[in-house]
């Protein structure tokens, strides 16, 4: 089993329309509270078999005591702290304005960080509209320049949308200007939450994606792999496979990674499920022992897909879903499940999120 624990230590500078973890401005976790959390959590994680990681979120560089928080994590939970293989995602806004950013960069280098990942949604107007912050693009741009001066690489996560495709040449010029070390072209997920419903108008269609053929051979983007996804996970292709092969929810779920997600909020509420996607409250870390935490985690199964959002026995047969969701826009998703969740959402099928 693989386990991921996100501890929300601070809010985020942006409020992205595609963000299923409900990122946005929010309170920070006091350093003493964070220490108490790690002191209980680390012994519990030691007992788990499999791969275990801790992710400080949403934007740890927003924490007023970010250097102390980084050192504390490295001391109390070194096995689970992001290392040199981590993307170290950031909006750029928080770190560029910190007076102690030289100390933060020194710690990042000490802990093995070689690059930071910046998520870009397109040109300035498009980016700022999607992240819902008028300074979002400026933060990305300034941060990329700062990373170069610090001798670190800027990796860009390009969050695909219709406007980005229309402005693709301008996006590439920006990446070149910012000395992009590597870029990923990401098709946004669809999950049954309000933010993703609102983002749907920005989602690229199959025809939109075809405009990018022959134009992705830059910045390390794997064009062949991207179009394999486009061809396999557009609505028309998914419908055709579903009609031909059917759709066994339980069998599909068994093929998913054996991976469980947990979330700890700023006030130490402990949830089963990813941030913003909770299905069960497990308690409050302040009132739990390390053994309580271990046993609570051990009782949960993987929640990577399907039963992380729905009660499978109550879902309608695929023939009913297809009949009530005729092909219209032919949107593209990163996987078949995203398309299925959209169809279920449009039918008003209730999910199990709390």
Query: Would you place residue 83 in the very low, low, confident or very high pLDDT band (cuts 50, 70, 90)?
Result: low
| 7-55 pLDDT, tens digit each | 999 999 998 988 888 788 889 999 999 999 999 999 999 999 999 999 9
pLDDT on residue 227: 98
Number of alpha carbons in the 13 Å side-chain half-sphere of residue 249: 18
Beta-carbon contacts of residue 297 (< 8 Å; ≥ 6 apart): 3, 44, 48, 260, 262, 282
pLDDT on residue 57: 87
pLDDT on residue 82: 67
Contact, 72 vs 38, CB < 8 A? yes
pLDDT on residue 175: 97
| 208-262 pLDDT, tens digit each | 999 999 999 889 999 999 999 999 999 999 999 999 999 999 999 999 999 999 9
Collapsing DSSP states into helix, strand and coil, what is residue 115?
strand
CATH of 83-186, one of 3.30.70, 3.30.390, 3.40.50, 3.90.1200: 3.40.50
- Does the structure show a pLDDT above 80 at 325? yes
> 20 versus 185: which is more confidently predicted?
185
What residue segments make up the domains of the chain, in order of their start? Answer: 1-81+258-304, 83-186
pLDDT on residue 22: 78
pLDDT on residue 26: 85
Collapsing DSSP states into helix, strand and coil, what is residue 49?
coil
Query: Would you place residue 112 in the very low, low, confident or very high pLDDT band (cuts 50, 70, 90)?
Result: confident
pLDDT on residue 23: 82
Mean pLDDT along residues 264-279:
96
- Does the structure show a pLDDT above 90 at 70? yes
> What is the value of pTM for the model shown?
0.94
Mean pLDDT along residues 119-143:
96
Q: With pLDDT > 90 as the criterion, what percentage of the chain qualifies?
A: 88
The set of long-range contacts for 163-166, using a CB threshold of 8 Å and a minimum separation of 24, is 163/121, 163/122, 163/123, 163/126, 163/202, 164/121, 164/122, 164/126, 165/204, 165/208, 165/209, 165/211, 165/212
């Amino acid at each position: 089993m693989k386990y991921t624990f996100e501890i929300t230590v601070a809010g985020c500078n942006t409020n992205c329309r595609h963000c299923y973890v409900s990122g946005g401005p929010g309170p920070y976790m006091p350093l003493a509270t964070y220490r108490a959390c790690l002191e209980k959590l680390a012994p519990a994680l030691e007992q788990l078999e499999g791969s275990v990681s801790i992710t400080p979120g949403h934007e740890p560089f927003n924490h007023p005591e970010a250097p102390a928080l980084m050192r504390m994590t490295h001391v109390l939970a070194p096995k689970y702290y992001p290392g040199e293989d981590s993307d170290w995602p950031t909006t750029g806004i928080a770190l560029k304005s910190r007076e102690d950013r030289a100390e933060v960069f020194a710690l990042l280098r000490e802990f093995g960080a070689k690059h930071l990942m910046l998520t870009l949604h397109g040109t300035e107007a498009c980016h700022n509209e999607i992240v819902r912050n008028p300074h979002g693009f400026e933060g990305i741009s300034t941060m990329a320049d700062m990373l170069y001066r610090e001798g670190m690489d800027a990796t860009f996560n390009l969050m695909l949308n219709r406007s980005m495709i229309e402005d693709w040449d301008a996006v590439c010029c920006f990446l070149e200007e910012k000395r992009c070390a590597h870029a990923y072209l990401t098709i946004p997920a669809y999950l049954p939450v309000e933010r993703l419903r609102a983002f749907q108008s920005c989602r690229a269609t199959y025809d939109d994606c075809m405009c990018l053929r022959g134009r992705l051979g830059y910045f390390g983007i794997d064009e062949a792999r991207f179009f394999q996804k486009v061809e396999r996970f557009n609505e028309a292709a998914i419908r055709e496979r579903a009609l031909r092969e059917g759709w066994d929810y339980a069998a599909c779920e068994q093929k998913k990674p054996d991976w469980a997600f947990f979330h700890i909020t700023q006030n130490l509420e402990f949830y089963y499920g990813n941030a913003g996607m909770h299905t069960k409250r497990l308690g409050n870390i302040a009132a739990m022992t390390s053994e309580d935490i271990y046993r609570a985690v051990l009782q949960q199964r993987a929640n990577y897909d399907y039963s992380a959002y729905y009660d499978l026995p109550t879902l309608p047969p695929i023939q009913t879903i297809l009949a009530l969701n005729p092909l219209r826009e032919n949107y593209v998703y990163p996987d078949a499940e995203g398309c299925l969740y959209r169809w279920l959402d449009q039918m008003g099928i209730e999910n199990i999120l709390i």
